[in-house]
Amino acid sequence: MRPRDCYARPAVIDDDVRATLESAARGEGTLLALTGAGISAESGIPTFRGKEGYWTVGSREYHPQQMATHAAFTRMPREVWRWYLYRRTVCNAAQPNAGHRALVEADHTFTDRFVLVTQNVDGLHLRAGSPPARTLQIHGNIDFMRCADECSITLYPVPPEIGPKTRDDDLSDDELALLRCPSCGKPTRPHVLWFDESYDEELFRAASALHAAADAELLLVVGTAGATNLPLQIAAVVARAGRPIIDVNVEDNPFAQAAREYGGHALRGSAAQLLPKLVAALAAARPAC
């Protein structure tokens, strides 16, 4: 049996990778980065699809795929908010790492040519300095809420009066009262894309992400396993256009396969290890003004 990573390059930037980066830097299309849970895991945020994301209500244990649904919120809004406020505490305790900072440098270097699409709801890219206008948070941001009754699509910060939460902390009636829409007074919900919901442009900038993919000179995929639909669509659009994909991950995934098949590269290593090197090589190849 062949090793699962037999086609992946080691965590180095060799001449072939450098040539791909140089060609992309000298082109005119978008330099597109797509990030997933792997980059945040390096900052200490667990992947909540795993055991860390399980949540107990009474005598029943719920999986993340059961909690992160509109159906669950309809049945037990207090418990779903408790879970998200605990997750928010974990996210807010983490700090951006070298991978996040490297993508900020890429944005500073290439400005309007650079677009970042992230599946992560932790806000670490924004805290590192990535500009909101070019950071497409396609699964939302856990620091924000919006009207559950959909009186508008306005996003509101989670009230600062609601402090850090542990797994065992209750959500008081006073705190629940704070989680109401400032516009209409109805309950709010976390601003995240749930498993039983669909991508859209207004809330999650899905069309903008696909437009960036259609214009991409290069797709840099970082730390995602390809478990959701829109990221796979983004990679498919780039591959069909004949543009290279560079996958940065610690293990095998569908993006690495696409990278190999369409003239790109699969690099085994962490975002904090590899992104600073990749971005430096891109920046060095940028044409002089």
pLDDT at 48: 65
Mean of pLDDT values over 231-250: 96
Question: What distances in angstroms separate CA 155 from CA 12, 83, 115, 117, 197, one per listed residue?
Answer: 41, 20, 22, 19, 18
**Long-range interactions of 226-229: CB distance < 8 A, separation 24+:** 226/253, 226/254, 226/255, 227/49, 228/119, 228/139, 229/199
pLDDT at 5: 40
The pLDDT mean for the chain works out to: 91
Q: Is the pLDDT of residue 52 over 70?
A: no
Identify the active-site residue in 139, 191, 211, 265.
139
63-72, 119-128, 215-224: range with lowest mean pLDDT:
63-72
pLDDT at 54: 57
Quick one: pLDDT band at residue 107, thresholds 50, 70, 90? very high
Q: Is 70 a known active-site residue?
A: no
Between 226 and 121, whose confidence is greater?
Answer: 121
Q: Tell me: the pLDDT tens digits for 155-187? A: 999 999 999 999 999 999 999 999 999 999 999
Amino acid, single-letter form, for residue 28: E
Percentage of the chain modeled with pLDDT above 70: 91
Percentage of the chain modeled with pLDDT above 90: 81
pLDDT at 31: 98
Instruction: Sketch the domain layout of the chain as residue ranges.
Output: 15-43+96-140+199-284
pLDDT at 56: 62
pLDDT at 57: 67
Q: Is the pLDDT of residue 51 over 80?
A: no
pLDDT at 61: 77
pLDDT at 59: 57
Q: Tell me: the pLDDT tens digits for 221-231? A: 999 988 889 99
pLDDT at 227: 80
pLDDT at 46: 83
In whole angstroms, give the CA distance from residue 273 to residue 135: 22
pLDDT at 6: 37
Question: What distances in angstroms separate CA 50 from CA 6, 71, 156, 165, 197, one per listed residue?
Answer: 26, 20, 29, 20, 21
Q: Is the pLDDT of residue 1 over 80?
A: no
pLDDT at 3: 33
Q: Which of 114, 124, 97, 100 is nearest to 282 (CA)?
A: 114
Quick one: pLDDT band at residue 138, thresholds 50, 70, 90? very high
Residues 6+ apart with CB under 8 A from 243: 29, 216, 217, 218, 219, 262
Q: Is the pLDDT of residue 49 over 80?
A: no
CB count in 10 Å sphere of residue 245: 28
In whole angstroms, give the CA distance from residue 178 to residue 223: 35
CATH says 15-43+96-140+199-284 is which class? alpha beta
Strand partners, 31: 114, 218
